[in-house]
Structure 1
Amino acid sequence: MEVIRRSAGVGRRAVLKALCVIWLPAARANNRQGSEPAVSRPLRIVIDPGHTPSRGGALGVRGIYEVQYNDALAEKVCEALRSAGFTPILTRAPGKEMTLEERARLAADQHADLFLSLHHDSAQLRYLEKISVNGHDAYRTIKPLQGYSLFVSQVNPQFSKSFRFATLLGNEMRQIGRTPSLHHAEPIAGENRELLDETLGIYRFDDLVVLKKNDVPAVLLEVGVITDPADEAYVSQEANQTRIVAGIVSAVRRYADEYSRP
């Protein structure tokens, strides 16, 4: 199924508000004062759709920027988390600009328990060719390059919990038949990331702002490689998106069970 292009108008925002809390900077001061006791509330999970309209991220094989994939998946994840009894908090609505530092501050301001940034992957230019799709630029891999990737930062003060959630999420991705993409570990410019778990595709990437400047456990998930025709087709199919979302919710549920409050 083609990624749905929707406007960021009032109707869209109303739908998102029904699915998850949308962070508003003006509310931060109030949220810092007197939050409810942790034992009395569901787990709060910040869902961060990567990039913004002005900086759309990777340009995929169909000429669609990554941000559109991220926004569409974040909406589905929010809906599923709320249905599962959690409290999802969306960093930004579609059409909204937001800095990386603002995303990282949000989790502490909202007393969140977990932070998940959603992205869709590409590759270094040596592995891509520029093509034209309906008169627009697009990029395609010159060899198969498929799978998901997970990133954590050891600078994050909650690294052990971050790594544990990444492990749970990696296991869920494997359960639905996904395999990790290992191209970020290649010893080339722009990559050369340390693999903490090759089987589950977990990388250490200390310089990612949304991970290293977070006070709560934080993980970045690259869902699939949108410059690879086969992988882009996989992540664009609704049935596969449903499996991915279910895997994310299952990982959150397992994490909550392990770190449940007294």
Structure 2
Amino acid sequence: MISQNETDIEQLLESLKLSLPLVQRLFPIDVMFALADKEKFIYYLPGTELDIRVQEGMPVPPSGGIRKALETGEEVSANIPKEIYGWPFKSSSIPIHGEGGEITGVFTIGISLSNQETLSYAANTLATTSEEISMTSEEIAGTATDLANTVSELKVLGQKVVEELHKTDEILEFITKVADNSNLLGLNAAIEAAHAAEHGRGFGIVAQEIRKMSVSSAASAKEIAGILERIKMNITRMDATLLDCLGQSERQAAATEEITASMQQLAASAVEIEKIARLI
């Protein structure tokens, strides 16, 4: 509340005309000032951008903060949206009282909320973006974890395949022995067939076929052994690759968890920025 004799309004007006431009320059944000008596505006200092287009001599509006301050004798504050004058601002109207307590006028200050609006918008955008990135990071982390689990399962399966391939060594060794024995048997049969001369001709043919079969079996067993050896080598390489993939997946999961934590901190900071913006 400002106490002022009605006859001293002119003196107050002259003082404000001298001081308010200086005061305005001290504000870090855009401000405007207005002084009105009970009926009309008698002084108006617009801001750099903030301007409600008031002129001295214009009547006080029948509604609004200035009229309410004149009627109630109390300070009236309100946030004026951008849609009304083109700039959002906070208006505070302080009634001026004479020595007898009567209201002789109203002093009004308007403080631009453009920075607050921009800051609030940026904070909301930051919070939303942080939340989206955090959700995406959590999905990536979950996928990386699933991938790591899958790679681990493949690694176990690869080890089992190698174990099963080792069992085939015994089978191939048995086939090789059978081939060798068949070859020896065919050779002995051929010798006996030669001793029997004409009577052993049919037996000799059988012995020859047995030797051919044994040689073919031995060659096939050797070829199969080579194939299985190459399979073992490829599985060993695959196992090393899977191990590397497992390490990368684990690092990716850890990295995305760190990103998620950082985004959560960023979102918390955005909330604090929003609170600061509302302090104006």
Give the TM-score range, shorter chain. under 0.3
Give the structure with higher Rg (CA).
2
Which of 1 and 2 has higher RCO (CA within 8 Å, sep 6+)? 1
Structure with more strand by fraction: 1
More helix, by proportion: 2
Task: Output the TM-score relative to the length of structure 2.
Answer: 0.22
